[in-house]
Amino acid sequence: MLLEGKTVLITGASQGIGRAAAVECARAAANVAINYLGDEAEAESVVAEIRSLGREAIAIRSDVADPASAPAFVAAAVTAFGGVDVFVSNAGICPFHAFLDMPVAVLDRTMRVNLHGAYYMVQAAANQMVAQGRGGSIVAVSSISALVGGEYQTHYTPTKAGVHSLMQSCAIALGRHGIRCNSVLPGTIQTAINKDDLADPEKRARMAARIPLGRLGVPEDLAGPILFLASDMARYVTGAALLVDGGAFVNLQ
Ligand SMILES: NC(=O)C1=CN([C@@H]2O[C@H](COP(=O)(O)OP(=O)(O)OC[C@H]3O[C@@H](n4cnc5c(N)ncnc54)[C@H](O)[C@@H]3O)[C@@H](O)[C@H]2O)C=CC1
Ligand SMILES: C[C@H](O)[C@@H]1OC(=O)[C@H](O)[C@@H]1O
């Protein structure tokens, strides 16, 4: 099993991509601690699913934008499972809005959750990994939006470029500790984050038609790539970014 005896922490894992990654890591024999800010019942259903796979899980409700939530999440996982081997920084929001009248509050919240939150969490996990002295793997969920723009995502795409850049710098800062840092760059994945934006069937069909593999993504499409980067299968991979977009990025014309 790829993650036998390992502990995995994932932020924003009550639903969507984070949830799919949490379940996949449990299938690979890891115990999993999830952070979330949504519905408690949903988070508990992830815990139940992981337990049904024969692994242990805990769910901690907190806001990643609060700097205090990061050391608290890591400490809770260490208390429950004895350490941290893999950290997946996934929590994120994308409140679609036009550029010219972007409210300060929307810009500020998006930056604080997506970029500051990732920074605080990755830093807390890295400190724990360094103290343990046995290396580790950090995976950040960036986006194809780190590489391309979006008319209603001018506040969001810079955060995803930032997360991608954070992993590159952390790969250098943490390599000497045996800690690998990589990002995944999902394309358009059907989750709650874009439910309204993709509500129009014509828009969905138009977007799917631009994807060489012929469909939008689902959260489970990210589970394998995240597991790969988390595991020793990727033991010489650090500072890398893995596009998981059905080929959308390379399909310019
Ligand atoms: N769905 C997509 O097309 C893509 C998503 N992504 C990224 O994937 C990540 C996961 O998003 P999805 O699964 O699509 O969305 P989702 O809305 O289904 O899941 C987001 C998760 O983040 C949590 N969350 C939100 N704000 C939080 C906060 N302040 N503190 C703690 N948890 C918080 C929610 O509780 C939820 O569990 C995000 O970082 C998003 O930017 C990247 C590329 C494409
Ligand atoms: C939420 C969007 O549908 C999604 O988020 C991303 O990061 C992708 O680039 C899509 O725009």
Tell me the residue range of the domain where 36 lies.
7-241
Ligand 1 pocket member 172 (CB < 6 A): no
Mean pLDDT computed over 183-188: 98
Please tell me if the CB atom of residue 89 comes closer than 6 angstroms to any atom of ligand 1.
no
Residue 88 lies in a domain: yes
Counting every residue written for the chain, the total comes to 253
Domain for residue 42, yes or no? yes
pLDDT digits (tens, 9 = 90+) for 82-125: 999 999 999 999 999 999 999 999 999 999 999 999 999 999 99
The verdict on residue 72 lying in a domain is yes
CA–CA dist 169, 185 (Å, integer): 17
Asked if pLDDT for residue 157 goes beyond 90, the answer is yes
139 Cα distance to chain centroid: 7
In the chain, % of residues over pLDDT 70: 100
How many Cβ atoms from other residues are within 10 Å of residue 73's Cβ?
A: 26
Please give the helix or strand (H or E) that residue 170 lies within, else none.
helix 157-174
For residue 109, being part of any structural domain is answered with yes
For residue range 191-238, list pLDDT tens digits in order.
Answer: 999 999 999 999 999 999 999 999 999 999 999 999 999 999 999 999
Domain membership of residue 252 (yes or no) is no
Give the count of domains, the chain.
1
248 is a domain residue: no
Annotated catalytic residue 160:
yes
Residue 23 backbone class (left: φ over 0; alpha: ψ -120 to 50; beta: rest): alpha
* Residue at 58 is within a domain: yes
Confidence at residue 227, expressed as pLDDT on a 0 to 100 scale = 98
* pLDDT of the residue at 219: 98
User: Measured in Å, how far apart are the chain's first and last C-alpha atoms?
Assistant: 42
Angle at the Cα of 64 from the Cα atoms of 57 and 39, rounded to 5 degrees? 55
pLDDT on residue 253? 75
Compute the distance from residue 180 Cα to the ligand 1 centre, in Å.
22
CATH number for position 67: 3.40.50.720
Query: Is residue 205, in this structure, part of any structural domain at all?
Result: yes
Give, in degrees to the nearest 5, the angle at Cα 128 between 122 and 129.
85
113 lines ligand 1 (CB under 6 A): yes
Q: What is the pLDDT of residue 225?
A: 98
* Listed residue (120, 121, 142, 132) closest to 226, CA to CA: 142
